[in-house]
Structure 1
Amino acid sequence: MTKETLSYKYAAKSSLTKEKGAENLLLSKFSEVEKGSAPCFYWGSLKHPFELSRCLITLSNIVQSSFNLSAFQLALLKDPIVTAGNEQLRFEGFSHCAGVYARVDVLENGHDGEFIESGTTNVDFNTPLIAELGKIKKNDELILSVGQQEVGFHKDGASFTERKVPLPSKWIKGLTTVQQYFSESDYGVTLTRIQAIQLFKTIPNGKVKTDYFLINRGRKYLFSPIKSTRAICIGGIHRLRLLQPLLPLITWLKIYPHKNMQSVTFILGFTELNFVFSISRDYWRGFSGEGAALEELIEDLPDALIRAFDTCAYTNQEFNPTLLSFEEPIAITKIDKFATKLSAMGLLGYDLEKNGFFYRRLPFKLERILSLNPRLKGAEKLLEEGKVTILVHSATKIEARVAGSGVFHYVVLNDDFQKCTCTWFSRNQGERGACKHILAVKKKVKNE
């Protein structure tokens, strides 16, 4: 774990208080990136407070859970992220091990309030707050404020609640990688509430180290260790138990498998509220080590274009890459690469229900996010030291030699096929993204 620390500064602790018969939920905010001056993102009432409170409790349980870290690492809390804008609220976070991602989407008709400022921020989720959320009943009224309720409350010299935590590098990398996995996932099946409850009863006890499969027998769905035709693969299936408290409240459950079965996503549908839950193929690996977006980060795109997009984009608005190609000087052939690179830089999220990206700027500096990819940094170092030699460069095939520590590695790129003789590639066979040697060769070829 990196020794670098990240300091969260909150104007006050998040709290839930009762006033004039209504519950007032104040979520204190913090972001490394301050694009506006308003100390409050959103203020208003939530139409389904009981369901939302249970979703936020589940999100908190996920953020505080781990499936492969030590007790010491588990004790280091990280705070969820809230994105407010375009008539939507999104709460998202990762487990400590970065193998479980969750997002709560409050849809356009799920609230009645004012977006004072659009943006994305960390919010303080403390133990007393979670305990109070558990007391919310079905008929309670809930007022939500992301930031200080009184706009203009902040003054110079104000005191802060500050917590220093190790920089959650796995968390940040996972937040960028999982968006690409979403974009590569396809709709699988929709279950009713009863079908979902019956399905989850078939989750085996204990920690499961082998793959399980979602199969259909007649009109009944179940999890089985035996693979069958069109079965959806689920690794680390014991992680799904985090969802069980929500199942009696849902209307439907949709499942989206990744095209290569490297992840699976469950969307729990409530009234005007969705809960998105995604798990990596292996519970011990997590999304942060996949490297799915590394090849997109080597794509050279104008910094001015990226800065212009970041400045002008509106939070939670759908990303329209084709329209952007007409408005900005970017080749239509690079549009898909542009969307994936923006996602890898923490500027886009992905909505499976709408089948498209949306603008969401993570509350971390761009240079911080880009510095968290050791394979990309390794590739750049190889190029700086002149260790990459192109041997063959034709229209269909590229062969290269990359100098290592007392050994040469050979890279072959042939249309969609790529191979390297290094240990990393031999061990992972490209399932966790390209090795630094392949990245270096591709970047050198692009720049020639």
Structure 2
Amino acid sequence: MNLSLAYAAPSFIREQSGQSLFSFAPNLKRAPVFFEGGLRDALSVRDALLCLHDVVQSNFDTRLTASDWDRILDPVATVARDQLFFEAFSGDESSYGRVAVRPGALQNIERWESGTTNVDFTPQLAGAIGTIRSDKDAHFQVDPEAFEVTTESQSRRERKVKLPPSWLRGFLNVQSAMTGELDSFELGRADARNLLAFLKSHKETFGPRALVFHLKPGQKVEAVFEPWNHKMVLTSSVYHGDKEAEVRVFGRRRLFLLNRILPKAKRLRVFLSGSGLPSFWLADLNDDVQFQLAISGWTTRPFAASGLHLSEAQTPLAADVVRRARESLRADEAMDAEALTRALNIVPGDARRALTLLCAQGQAMYDLDVRAYRKREVVDVPLDDLGMVGDPKRLTDARALVAQGKVKVESEVASPFSTQVRGVVSGTRGDYQTSVTLDSEGKIVDADCECAWFEHNALRGGPCKHILALREAVTNAATDVAPKSEEWWATLV
């Protein structure tokens, strides 16, 4: 599929009536999206947008060539009732940035019409954003009509970009990682500066290269820098989780993308999904402007390649439920699974599955800050309507193993909220002892396999086809039996 981008003119910043005018050119090939209003804190918005531009321009994977940069897409901008937000991936798709601007950062709002579009965001615009100062009022607009009025037709710029499946899978895997089990702590600003200062002053020439966080309930977080094994106690960062954990973060130099806003951030929160898995860094410049940075588990493994979405439950869901969920999300713009459960009078598992499917279709995203799903339509129609959503090869191969009778379930131990399964899966190079733990909805929360792929990747690259096959064998056999937690819910409604 080709994504058509058409801009009446480049985005710009200019002086107008004694104030600075931020004017973002939206994609004219999409349904009109409007916002126009003043900025109370232009400097915070400026710094957050410059951080997003740093993400877009970054490339930590030295294997990429110049031609790979042609696939970089303009940021996605969404106007919602409770915030404006901009999202983008880095050139190597291993980093994701998001800027959120809430109503408290805005004033004198003249027009607000919800929707999602692409916006023209060039290096020239970033340079102009950097000139914004505090001594002038600032006005912000996303308005296609403004460009049609103030520019000549010959300035219109159009291009077609082949919509890369990796870009779409990247969004999906970011959401999948965010909705998983996360260890989190608030990182003190001084601690953050010390972390980056050490990395800046030390250049590793050999591995391992992890930044290791030691988390103990009620104690200060400890960070260890490999390969020097230098330990740093983060004196203003306390872990309040309920279990001890050690998490290894790779590709740590991507954290330099936070450099620009660290001196101004009022609060910095860290969410870790596990060793070699994505991590999320939320910087609040104030109560109303936030920058989010997500980095994949490895620099050379972009979000699209992580396969984390394969862990999500794959049980079928009625098309009518998905349709109604889409309509509810379009009406409310932001809701969690509990709210959707009440709105549609369905079981919680179906609500979560419906929201996950909407993310897979490019119609929704997960907001880690408020722990809710938001309407955000990457393209104008669901991706499955375009034939762009299909079963990944790994899942197709897993189902083939089940169909060929190559999966033998040896034990299945169920509890009210999880099921542990062990079995043997016959692969191309022999039989593999395989185990998987599923939550009440069929999502993979833990697994193990003897195959070489799993030995190298574990769950950092998503489940292998043998783990998926074992889950398929169990869920296929139990399609007529509701999970215990769903039975419990049914007694309440």
TM bucket, shorter chain: 0.7 to 0.9
Aligned match of 2:360? 344
Amino acid at match of 2:173: T
Q: Letter of the aligned partner of 2:364 in structure 1?
A: L
2:254 aligned to which of 239, 256, 266: 239
- Contact 2:436–2:447, Cα closer than 8 Å, also in 1: yes
With normalisation by structure 2, the TM-score equals 0.76
Report what 2:312 is aligned to. Answer: 296
Query: Take 1:6 and 1:62, find their aligned partners in 2: how far apart are those partners?
Result: 21
2:230 counterpart of 1:213 = no
| 1:16-415 correspondence runs (5 A) | 16-30=13-27, 37=31, 39-68=32-61, 69-73=63-67, 75-76=69-70, 77-112=72-107, 113-114=109-110, 116-150=112-146, 160-184=156-180, 186=182, 188-204=184-200, 205-206=202-203, 210-214=209-213, 224-225=225-226, 226=229, 232-259=247-274, 262-271=277-286, 272-296=288-312, 298-314=314-330, 317-328=333-344, 330-363=346-379, 365-367=382-384, 370-371=389-390, 373-379=392-398, 382=400, 386-392=403-409, 395-396=412-413, 397=421, 399=423, 412-413=434-435, 415=437
Match of 1:14 in 2: 11
Taking only aligned residues, the RMSD between alpha carbons, in angstroms, comes to: 3.6
Label 1:30 to 1:388 Cα distance change in 2 as closer, same or farther (>3 A): farther
User: Contact between 2:309 and 2:462, CA under 8 Å: does it hold in 1?
Assistant: yes
Greater RCO structure (CA 8 Å; 6+ sep): 1
Alpha-carbon distance in 2 for matches of 1:207, 1:102: 26
Would you say the 8 A contact 1:390–1:398 is kept in 2?
A: no
- Give TM-score, length-normalised by structure 1: 0.83
Aligned residues: 434
Name the aligned partner's letter for residue 7 of structure 2: Y
| Cα displacement string for residues 65-84 of structure 1 (whole angstroms, at most 9, x for unaligned residues) | 11114231453232111121
Gaps of 5+ in 1: none
Q: Compute the displacement of 1:323 (Å).
A: 3.2
Post-superposition CA distance 1:382-402 (Å, at most 9, x none): 37x943555448654464656
Mean alpha-carbon deviation: is it higher for 354-363 or for 17-26? 354-363
CA distance in 1, matches of 2:204, 2:299: 10
Any conservation in 2 of the 1:16–1:25 contact (CA below 8 Å)? yes
Partner of 1:29, secondary structure, is coil
Show structure 2 runs of 5+ residues with no match: 232-243, 414-420, 439-445, 478-493
CA distance in 2 between partners of 1:279 and 1:21 (Å): 40
Secondary structure, aligned partner of 2:262: helix
How far has the Cα of 1:152 moved from its partner?
A: 9.3
Contact 1:26 1:149 survives alignment (8 Å): no
TM superposition shift of 1:275: 0.8
What percent identity do the matched residue pairs reach? 25
1:85–1:315 contact (8 Å) kept in structure 2: no
CA apart distance, 1:220:
9.8
Q: How far apart are the structure 1 equivalents of 2:396 and 2:473?
A: 14
Separation in 2, partners of 1:320, 1:47: 30
